[in-house]
Amino acid sequence: MNDENTNSQGDDMSTSTPSVLSSVAQNRAAHHEANSAPMGSGLEARGVHAWFGKHHALENVSLDFNPGTVTALIGPSGCGKSTFIRTLNRMHEFIPSAAMAGEVLLDGKDIYSSGIDVTQIRLKIGMVFQKPNPFPSMTIGQNVLAGLKLAQLKHDNKEELLEQSLTRAGLWNEVKDRLGVSAGGLSGGQQQRLCIARSLAVNPKVLLMDEPCSALDPGSTLRIEDTISELSKTMTIVIVTHNMQQAARVSDYTAFFLSDGGPGQMIEVGPTSEMFSRPRDQRTENYVSGRFG
């Protein structure tokens, strides 16, 4: 019986149906309702466009992320999900020739307005990347606290912060005895949770995750999903995922992105259970029922 259960929750997209997904999502919503007192900061994208040189990659995306919620960004690859999430903490501008238009408001203030210290923005809006990227020359402990050093922050009790960050990332028990060991020896899933812990150590209000599980095995994926659920009690989370099961399991809201050959657009956003049970747009319906993408 156990086996069956695992199957129905498995990662195989082709066998999933909207009804299964939406019931998973409903469980998630109920769970969230019961446990959370909304925290974190609100983030709002207002008419965001993005370009790479002449290539218009993202068109007019407006999206609200309420404090303490998890929003999943789904859509076929190349539709601008990564581009969009990177505009949310100003990582987009590191790509030469990248440009953007529109506004991103963090607690009501535009993070792109002149006179804003971008390093402060990135401290408040943390990011976890697709590929785990710990600093290989540092130990596990140093990795977790790297943000303090990089952003020149003071902290009175580093030991406590270290333990707290690793605990929140669900990694403490696995590494507490080898904090002084190089981070390179950890498994991929552990490295990714280490990267999450590293982001948490600077105490961000929002956490952006760009396909954080796409390079990981199913076991590690589930652990990270647990971590996300736990974290959503205290912060706002935006997660890009290819995996609709995952979107259903972890998110409160889902936004569907699509590119029809031109710039990517956000087609529809709504509570995750609704997006999977009765999407308003035919294209969303096609996508979530696995008819394309």
Partner 1 sequence: MSSAQVTERQAPPAKREITTLPRFSDRVFRGVVSLMSMSSLVILSLIGIFLAYRGFETFRSQGIHFLTSPDWLSETDASGKVIYKFGMSAMLIGTLLISIVAVIVGVPLSVLAALFLTFYAPNSLKKFFVTIVDVMAAFPSILYGLWGFFVLSPMAEYWAKLINKYFGWFPAFHVDDPSFNSSPFIAGLVLSIMIIPIVTSVSREIFSQTPLDRIQAAYALGATRWAMIRTVALPFGASGIVGGAMLGLGRALGETVAVYSVLNIVYKINWHVLYGFGGNVASMIVSKWGEASFTEAKALLAAGLVLFIMTLLVNMGANSIVTRTIKSGR
Given its phi and psi angles, is residue 292 left (phi above 0), alpha (psi -120 to 50 degrees) or beta?
A: beta
Between CA 268 and CA 211 the distance in angstroms is 20
Q: Which does 135 bind (CB under 5 to 8 A by kind): ligand ADP, Mg ion, partner 1, none?
A: partner 1
Contact 73, 257 (CB under 8 A): yes
8 Å CB contact between 43 and 236: yes
CA distances from 73 to 48, 201, 225, 240, 276 (A): 15, 25, 15, 5, 13
Residues that bind Mg ion (CB under 5 A): 82
Footprint (CB under 8 A) of partner 1, residues 224-263: none
For residue 75, the SS3 value is coil
Per CB under 8 A, does 194 bind partner 1?
no
Q: Single out the segment in contact with partner 1 by CB under 8 A; choices: 120-128, 160-168, 240-248, 261-269.
A: 120-128
Residues of the shown chain interacting with ligand ADP in the complex, contacts defined by CB under 6 A: 52, 55, 57, 75, 77-83, 95, 264
| Distance in angstroms (rounded) separating the CA atoms of residues 124 and 82 | 19
Query: Least distance in Å: CB of 16 to partner 1?
Result: 31
Considering only 50-58, 73-81, 122-130, 247-255, which stretch makes contact with partner 1 by CB under 8 A? Answer: 122-130
Mark residues 128-157: x for contact with partner 1 by CB under 8 A, - for none. Answer: -x-x-xxxxx--------xx-xxxx-----
Whole-number Cα distances in Å, 78 to 81, 83, 155, 264: 8, 9, 41, 8
| Binding residues with partner 1: total (CB under 8 A) | 27
Residues that bind partner 1 (CB under 8 A): 89, 91, 94, 96, 119-120, 122-123, 126-127, 129, 131, 133-137, 146-147, 149-152, 195, 198-199, 202
